[in-house]
Amino acid sequence: MSKSNFFISAFIKSIWIGFIVGIGSLVLYVYFVSINFLGLFGPMPSLEALENPKSEVASELYTADNVLLGKYFKENRTPVDFEKLSPNLVNALTATEDSRFEEHSGIDLRGMGRVFFKTIILGQRNSGGGSTLSQQLAKNLFQTRSALYKGKLSKGTLGKVIFKTKEWITAVKIERAYTKKEIMTMYLNTVDFGSNSFGIEVASKTFFNTTPDSLKIEEAAVLVGLLKAPTTYSPVFNPDSSTSRRNTVISQMAKYGYLTSIKADSIKKLPIALDYNVENHNKGSATYFRSLITSYLIPWCRERGLDLYSDGLKIYTTLDSKMQKYAEESVASHMKEEQRKFFEHWKGKSPWTDEQGKVIPNFIETAAKRSDRYRALKLQYGNDTVKIMKVMKTPIKMKIFSWDGEIDTLMSPIDSIKYYKHFLHCGFMAMDPHSGYIKAWVGGIDHKHFKYDHVKQGKRQPGSTFKPFVYASAIDLGYSPCYELPDLPVTFPTADVNKTWTPQNSNGEGFTGEMFTLRKAMANSINSITANLMKEIGPQVVVNNAKRMGITSPLDPVPALCLGVSDVSIYELVGAYGTFVNNGFWTEPFFITKIEDKNGNVLQEFIPKSVEVFDEETAYLMVHMLKGATEEKGGTALGLNKYGLLWNGYEIGGKTGTTQNYSDGWFMGITPKLVAGAWVGGDDRCIHFRSMDLGQGARMAMPLWAIFMKKVFADSTLGLIKERFPRPSKLSVEIDCKRYKEKSSQHSDSLQQKHQQVLPIEF
């Protein structure tokens, strides 16, 4: 062999040796990375993690009729199946992010070669990336660049190489474990599109108010364009950049044959037509309900090792989407009008007054000290109230609530508190008395600006809406609705031996001396009759029955309880009134029927508590009593006829309630299949109307109930047909008052015997 041939042979041999050593070193390096040799490279995603990849999935809250109410999330993500992906979306993603997606096995060697040659050798920018969808999925799904996967060598440029290697290895494993459709679906379900939307399902709704299967070409191109940089190419915040990026995606679709050039050119000329709406807990239906139910769900999840905000639970509630919609509409229409009246009523004056009508000194300053802003400033300035109040009185930019929409304004925190104290608030709840299903729940006038829930959190004096507990206790002892008592003063001793208490009638006209049947007395809401009855049967009996009917709030067994002086909630009252309609059984109002995991497995089904309080006869007699408000002369609910609810085939019972100084207006209404209650008043008891004409429950609360029921009755799909309350086949107590008078002597004897048999119940 000649010397030249020897050197050529040696050179070729050295190249082969170098190639083989290089390949061997690469294989060995990849192997060492895959096993985390000596802890140098950091761990890889486990086989279990690859087989069961976990991403944060929003838990979803549904109505009984399967309408999505809202979500609980850290990252707002809802998975979608491949069959629900628009071909436009799949094509746009493939053309832009991984044109050889169907050909490679996780690593695109041609793409990597292009990047190496153009970016590294020629130094060109924007020459395209070499990462496949599988590699991007590995990075997104397993967070391979996080601290969890770092090793001793995971620093600087070498660390980046190691991370990239892990993504290659993981991508290959993903390709072996899943089909191309599954990889495409997982990718689109995990990526961040910006605007608090994670995954294609949420992104489609957020930007275009549509679903992934309905995305048009131009819409799909916008969303795929966002993947490069969600903020930079946001159609909301950077519309020009978004349009340019969208057109690049469309050009890619044409390049790879998914569109004709003519079609692509025509689509590029279209403007981006957004229907933008970012989901949050202040928007959508049943916002107060959703917030309050969280207090139940969080401990429920904690006990089971679940995360409400990331485990993709499906919570099915009792709410009816249509009734909820009607309730929210009714609150909005009625409260807007009430607020108009309230502003006019107090025009130029401060509504926070004492019982003498004088403005309460330092009321706003005291309220300010309870605000979150004041507490934050106190942490900053300590007890230096001068500095704190200086900040509190300095105007700043803010959005404030109004019934005509949010207002951008310049206002000091003190003035904003003063502004908000002028607003009336409300709470409304409707329930099926037989099943206990809560059908509608509106906790206030606007959840964004007023977080406090007035259905269950809020407790106020119920006024005359508590009277049915007194009458029910009497009926249960054998009294007839026709039993008569005189409208005369009733005096009770008090704890102070030198003082007595004599309740006055609410009409301000004193006592008439007229004899009233119990039914008419309750229908007319005569205080003296209720007080007389309370004196006959005793406060403890009333408390005992109210507790059986679901009133959990403290009730003082004092004579004044007959006029509703102990605070209760709408939630409690609606449940209690349901006892009358449900044949004497109190069924606990409840709001969840079942909870499933993200795979549809039922974790728990819920059954409400039910307790027999009265027999069927007592319950029906109380229904008959409550109907008196809509049937007896002078009944406080006769105003419902203004809304076309009376004397047209619907049977309705009700009870109004008004507290001292008109601080609270109530209405409780019953129908054969629905019981509902409404409260209206100021956040503080000192904020109220100053006249019975404006401040009584029949004016403040009853119209809200009426507007709601009119909508419900008009919707035939809800099944609230014209029907009568079911009546027992036989009644031992006479309700025909003419016949009752003829039997009054015998009735009195039996009543006395039954009364003597009642024993007190301790709670």
List residues bridging with 77 in a β-sheet: 198
CA dihedral 440, 551, 487, 755 (to 10 degrees): 130
Rg of the Cα atoms in the chain: 36
Domains in the chain: ranges and CATH? 51-136+177-268 (1.10.3810.10), 459-590+610-669+705-713 (3.40.710.10)
Low-confidence ranges of the chain (pLDDT < 50): 116, 119-123, 126-128, 747, 751-763
- Length of the chain equals 763
The rounded distance, in Å, linking the Cα atoms of 616 and 580 is 9
The rounded distance, in Å, linking the Cα atoms of 419 and 339 is 13
Q: CB-based contacts of 392: which residues, under 8 Å, 6+ apart?
A: 368, 373, 374, 377, 412, 413, 414
- pLDDT at residue 589 in the model: 97
User: pLDDT tens digit string along 533-590?
Assistant: 999 999 999 999 999 999 999 999 999 999 999 999 999 999 999 999 999 999 999 9
- pLDDT at residue 135 in the model: 79
The rounded distance, in Å, linking the Cα atoms of 345 and 353 is 14
- Name the 3-class secondary structure at 163: helix
The rounded distance, in Å, linking the Cα atoms of 681 and 665 is 6
- pLDDT at residue 746 in the model: 54
Contact criterion met (CB below 8 Å) for 440 and 327: yes
Label each residue of 236-249 as H, E or C: CCCHHHHHHHHHHH
The rounded distance, in Å, linking the Cα atoms of 321 and 62 is 9
Copy the structure tokens of residue 294.
């969280």
- pLDDT at residue 721 in the model: 84
Contact criterion met (CB below 8 Å) for 588 and 436: yes
The rounded distance, in Å, linking the Cα atoms of 633 and 636 is 9
The rounded distance, in Å, linking the Cα atoms of 629 and 657 is 12
The rounded distance, in Å, linking the Cα atoms of 651 and 425 is 29
- Name the 3-class secondary structure at 629: helix
User: pLDDT tens digit string along 479-534?
Assistant: 999 999 999 999 998 888 888 999 999 866 689 999 999 999 999 999 999 999 99
- pLDDT at residue 581 in the model: 97
- pLDDT at residue 755 in the model: 41
Other CB atoms within 10 Å distance of the CB of residue 741: 14
User: 270-300: buried (b, 16+ CB within 10 Å) or exposed (e) per residue?
Assistant: eebebeeeebeeeebbbbbbbbbbeeebeeb
Separation in Å, CA 657 to CA 446, 526, 662, 680: 24, 12, 10, 10
User: pLDDT tens digit string along 670-725?
Assistant: 999 999 999 999 999 999 999 999 999 999 999 999 999 999 999 999 988 888 99
Q: Which pairing describes strands 68-72 and 59-62: parallel, antiparallel, or unpaired?
A: antiparallel
The rounded distance, in Å, linking the Cα atoms of 103 and 173 is 16
- pLDDT at residue 759 in the model: 36
User: pLDDT tens digit string along 7-24?
Assistant: 677 667 777 776 676 666
Copy the structure tokens of residue 340.
């108009």
Copy the structure tokens of residue 128.
């395209």
The rounded distance, in Å, linking the Cα atoms of 562 and 465 is 10
The rounded distance, in Å, linking the Cα atoms of 185 and 372 is 44
Residue type, 677: G
The rounded distance, in Å, linking the Cα atoms of 618 and 623 is 9
Burial of 268 (0-12, 13-18, 19+ CB in 10 A): middle
Copy the structure tokens of residue 181.
């459709």
User: pLDDT tens digit string along 300-335?
Assistant: 998 999 988 888 999 999 999 999 999 999 999 999
The rounded distance, in Å, linking the Cα atoms of 271 and 135 is 33
Separation in Å, CA 550 to CA 164, 553, 571, 577: 62, 9, 9, 10
**Residue 443, CA atoms < 13 Å, CB-side half-sphere:** 24
CA dihedral 303, 304, 306, 311 (to 10 degrees): -140
List residues bridging with 670 in a β-sheet: 653, 675
- pLDDT at residue 650 in the model: 85
| Residue owning tokens 């006029």 | 563
Contact criterion met (CB below 8 Å) for 413 and 371: yes
Contact criterion met (CB below 8 Å) for 622 and 472: yes
CA 384 to chain centre: 39
Contact criterion met (CB below 8 Å) for 422 and 668: no
Phi and psi for 305 in degrees, rounded to 5?
70, 30
